[in-house]
Amino acid sequence: MPIPTPVRRTARPATASVVRAATPGRRRLAGALATLLAALTLLPAAPAAAQDKVVFATNWKAQAAHGGFYQALADGTYKKLGLDVEIRQGGPQVNNRPLLPAGRIDFLMTGNLLHTFDNVRNGVPTVVVAAMFQKDPQVLLAHPGQYESWNDLKKAPVILIAKDGQFSFWQWMKQDGFRDEQLRPYTYNSAPFLANKRSVQQGYAVAEPISIEKAAGFAPRLFLLADHGWSTYSTTIETRPELVKTRPDLVRRFVEGSIIGWVNYLHGQRAAADALIRKENPEVTQEELDQGVAKLKALGIVDSGDARTLGIGAIDPARVKDFHDKMVRAGLFKAGEVDLSRVHTTEFVNKAVGVDLRRTLTGNAN
């Protein structure tokens, strides 16, 4: 909101000689006008159009994987679109998911489509309005020189998977030949993985690989689940169907601002966004942010596939159905219990927002 400035006078005030020559009635009128003009100089100017307050919550602490949102905040993109955005980071002791249907936040960053499938199945009023990551950053990590292919991983004696993963992508992996005999619990401590060169561990592409390389001095081999059939979108933006219905322009501005933010974060000047991320999460270093962005680019997490032509955030309904059907086969959902028409909307994406900007920033027509 700009600082209010006094209203400028639009008329030349009466001079003393004019007042002396005037009749008593005119003198009283001139005095009243002078008093009114003096009062007007003390009033603030009419304010600019009010910014719409928006609260956006993430599902973990600020990091490179959230960079586009912080970029749009730091460089004024949201503000230019008439939005006063507050980003509330998540974390190990913070669960922002219930706040969306309760109306305490306006938008929520979620992990992947499984969360929304579960909401729809249980009648929780949420809907995906953009899919910021074309690929889920979930990976399997292996020691260098141990496993050369995805199929080789099926021979590993130990695969460390966290509880959430055991009840999600592990069930899908078993459809592809992995076995429960390999499964061991992952407690977000990489020591067991480092101690056993034949073991395999789950990870997030912009987290564990970076921390392992920093601690152990070697870069683990990455196997991105998305490159082997795990077809979910990731880092989706959810909101309430009621907000889509009653304030579609607000949703559009937030989605498009986030898209532009991601283009600028990946391919433009991101120093201000990184500074904001480090302020929000002092545990993250600039080196980790740099490495995280490099991983996002190298693996095509954000702007690969449809995002190159339709814009970041693109959603293909056929792909949503494909992932749903895989989850049904894996036993996570029953056929018919998730109404896919309520999972997402393409009203605010697939419009090539940011595509030309990306070409300009990268000098690449593709």
The backbone torsions φ and ψ at residue 244, rounded to the nearest 5 degrees and listed phi first, read -60, -40
How is residue 128 written in tokens? 């995906």
342, 120 contact by CB (below 8 A):
yes
Whether 98 and 129 share a structural domain: yes
Number of domains in the chain: 3
**pTM of the predicted model as reported, rounded to 2 decimal places:** 0.85
Range of the domain at 104: 52-136+232-362
Whether 64 and 177 share a structural domain: no
Q: Computed over its alpha carbons, how large is the radius of gyration of the chain?
A: 27
Whether 246 and 324 share a structural domain: yes
Q: What is the pLDDT of residue 50?
A: 86
Q: What is the pLDDT of residue 26?
A: 44
Residues of the chain whose pLDDT is less than 70? 1-49, 365-366
Q: What is the pLDDT of residue 202?
A: 98
Whether 1 and 77 share a structural domain: no
How is residue 314 written in tokens? 């693109």
Query: Rounded to an integer, what distance in angstroms lies between the CA atom of residue 37 and that of residue 125?
Result: 54
How is residue 327 written in tokens? 């989850």
Burial 123-138 (b: 16+ CB within 10 A, else e): ebebbbbbbbbbbbbb
Whether 130 and 260 share a structural domain: yes
Final residue of a domain: which of 166, 201, 228? 228
Q: What is the pLDDT of residue 238?
A: 98
Whether 145 and 120 share a structural domain: no
How is residue 300 written in tokens? 């095509």
Among 49, 107, 52, 47, residue whose Cα is nearest residue 249: 52
Whether 329 and 212 share a structural domain: no
Whether 175 and 304 share a structural domain: no
